[in-house]
Every structure is written in structure tokens, then in C-alpha cells.
Structure 1
């Protein structure tokens, strides 16, 4: 699903701001004369889910800041990050990334965390077969609790993280078959450490 479709499907549930800028990028008074143009900002909520220690927080940090954090810090409940995208000359998209804890004791809160989301990343660790199998549960949970205003399930992509590690136990063929069988929009291998496919996974055409 493209980002433009997400903006339509979401019906902009959070915020839309209009402000005018002159040809030099200066904020204007709202006049539409001369070289002024209207800038619209959309806020889209994207979920990042998966078992604990698969690299979700590191993925978000790498995507937002461009840096790799070697220190593991367990997410408690949910963490928030924001990435601003200049979608066009007249539109900005503010991606609000909800990094949701993978520990079982937090799962009861998921329905609250999912509310208003328009897309999701489901992540697992290719060196951990259990985290891969858990993606079925995560996808089912999303399908049951996270809906677009149209009533459709939110689009999800499957990310196979830590693909740089030699201890891999989940094959690409298995992931491809699993992704298709469980209704993911697409799947992709990622390495937060090596910065592989981080930006590509979050491109508008991916989610």
C-alpha cells in the first residue's frame, strides 16, 4: 500500500496542519497570492512489533537517527519516535513509530497501542526460530485488533532482522512461504548493524 493510499485510508485521524510559505521557505501569514504555497502535514501511526530482543528498538533508532545503538535496552510497554518525510512540495508526512514491547506481560495492552495505526512492521530474528514462529501470533493479533476506518486490516510487512549473522536458522524460502500464507504485504531481510534495507523497509511503497 502506497503512502498516498495510507493517507486516504487513515482519513487523517490525528492532525492536518496548513501553513503558507513564500518562495524562500519563510512562514507566511496565510496569503495565497504571489509565490506562496500551502504546506499540509499528515501524521501517520506505524506499529513496530515482534518478540523481545529481535532488534525493534535498534531498527527504529537506526531509521530515525541514522545511528546504530549497540546497547540493548528492553522496551517497557511502548516507546515513541517520529520521522519527518517531505512527501512533496506541498505535503509533509510525520511518521509516528510505536515500538511495542514483545514481552508477554505487556500484550494485554496491545489493543490500546494499536488504535489509530495505519501500517505495521512485524520483525523477527533470523537466528531465533521461536521469534519467527511468533510472527503468526503477532499477525493474527493485529488482524483482530488493528483496523483501518474502512474495516480492513492494517497492511503489514515482515522483516527478517540480523541477516548479517552467520548463525542463521530461518531460510529465505521459509520466510517467503510464511509471508504469503499469513497475508503480509511483503517481506524483507534487514540488518540494523550493517544498515541493510532499513530505509528501504520504511519507504512509502513498502508499508
Structure 2
């Protein structure tokens, strides 16, 4: 039986083929890493839950998309039903970094008039000698896109947990502010059987102060 969750977020991983999206997901969901990975065909599915704060469990539906152009018509159908996206590039492959804007633009256009919460991921940080993209360049791109930037390594298990948790927290905070909410016909965010009534942080603090229980 699945552990009760308050909310379910659908997250999609985006980026060129071979940047390591599948490796990130397997490390995050199963705690394993393999140097050999078969290319993703179409879309693969993963799941894991995170305790985002006391009494609030978020179930993450994680969709691993194929980076090859021939699968693009399949993967675009998943954009609209996702609330968050990890834009992943390979720190040792300049071309994958140059393509981040294209991925961001393509997804953003497909989900209009709605928006997606993104985080930029520079992957394979363990291969520092082969690095082709500087941290400053990546941080500048992230700033231009208005999103966070995190460098990860599935091989060394560096910042993998942090990347997914940051994105989850950003979505959750936007829900508290009323900028994201569940809506009919959309699977990006779903409420569980024990959904919590959300309040902005300031209002939550005031409610706790006034509580006599």
C-alpha cells in the first residue's frame, strides 16, 4: 500500500541525449548508479516521495524524456501535464549547454498560458578535468532564465537529492502563495486524501501564534 501523501507533483527531465537524465533519476529513486545505461526510448517513469515539512509528504512522479529529435513528438505531450522541469546539460559537452535555451523555449511554448517551475542542472560535475562549461556561464544562463542552478554528479551522488528537493520546495512555496493550484484536466499537481490547507508563510506563522491547542 502506498504511503499517504498530501500532494503529487509531476516532474519532467529535459535535455539532450547522454546528459545523464536517467542516471540522475536512478540515483534519486533507487540509490544506484551504473556506468552503462540504455538510451531512453520515448518516456520512462519513476516515483519517490519527499517529506517537505512536518506532516507534508509530496509524491513525485518523475518522467524521463528521450533527448533524440525523433522522439520529440512523443515527449511534447507530457510537457503540459508537468508542474516542474529539470533542464539538464552535460558539463563536459558544450553543445548540450547551448541547447538549454531551445529546450526551455520549446516547453514554455507548449504549456502556454500556464508556466512550469524549472531548475538548471549541470551534470557530471565529477569529470572536472573534462569540463567545458564554467560555473559562471551556467549561473549567468540560470539568472537570465530566472531559475536556480545546481551542479550534480549521479556517479558520486553529489547534490542529486538537493536538486530534486529544491525544485519540490519551490513548487510547494508557489502553491502556498496561490500561484500554483490543482485544476481539472491537469495532472501537474494532484491532492491526496490528506491534503493540507496551505497558507503563505507569514499567515502560517500568525496562525501558529494564535493557536491555543
- Normalized against structure 2, the TM-score is what? 0.73
Please tell me whether the aligned partners of residues 111 and 146 of structure 1 are also in contact (alpha carbons under 8 angstroms).
no
Please tell me whether the aligned partners of residues 91 and 124 of structure 2 are also in contact (alpha carbons under 8 angstroms).
yes
Note the C-alpha offset of 1:184: 4.1
Please tell me whether the aligned partners of residues 66 and 75 of structure 2 are also in contact (alpha carbons under 8 angstroms).
no
Q: How does 1:4-23 map to 2 (within 5 A)?
A: none
Within the alignment, does 1:192 sit opposite 2:154 as a pair? yes
Paired residue for 2:41, among 70, 76, 80? Answer: 76
The 3-state SS of whatever aligns with 1:159 is strand
Within the alignment, does 1:111 sit opposite 2:76 as a pair? yes
Q: Deviations over 1:60-95 (max 9, x none)?
A: 000001111221210000000000223455432210
Paired residue for 2:101, among 128, 131, 136? Answer: 136
Structure (1/2) with the larger helix percentage: 2
Q: How does 1:82-93 map to 2 (within 5 A)?
A: 82-88=47-53, 90-93=55-58
Q: Deviations over 1:117-176 (max 9, x none)?
A: 1100010001100000111110001111135xxx44201110000111110010111111
Larger relative contact order (Cα-Cα within 8 Å, sequence gap ≥ 6): 2
Q: Give the total of aligned pairs.
A: 167
Structure-1 residue corresponding to 2:26:
61
Structure-1 residue corresponding to 2:111:
146
Q: Measure the CA separation in 1 of the matches of 2:162 and 2:5.
A: 24
Structure 2 vs 1, CA of residues 55 and 90 (structure 1 numbering), >3 Å: closer, same or farther?
same
- Normalized against structure 1, the TM-score is what? 0.75
Paired residue for 2:6, among 26, 41, 47? Answer: 41
Structure-2 residue corresponding to 1:10:
none
Q: Measure the CA separation in 2 of the matches of 1:75 and 1:198.
A: 20
Structure-1 residue corresponding to 2:85:
120
Listed as ranges, the gaps of 5+ residues in structure 1 are 1-24, 26-38
Please tell me whether the aligned partners of residues 162 and 192 of structure 1 are also in contact (alpha carbons under 8 angstroms).
yes
Note the C-alpha offset of 1:55: 0.4
The 3-state SS of whatever aligns with 2:9 is strand
What's the Cα RMSD here?
Answer: 2.0
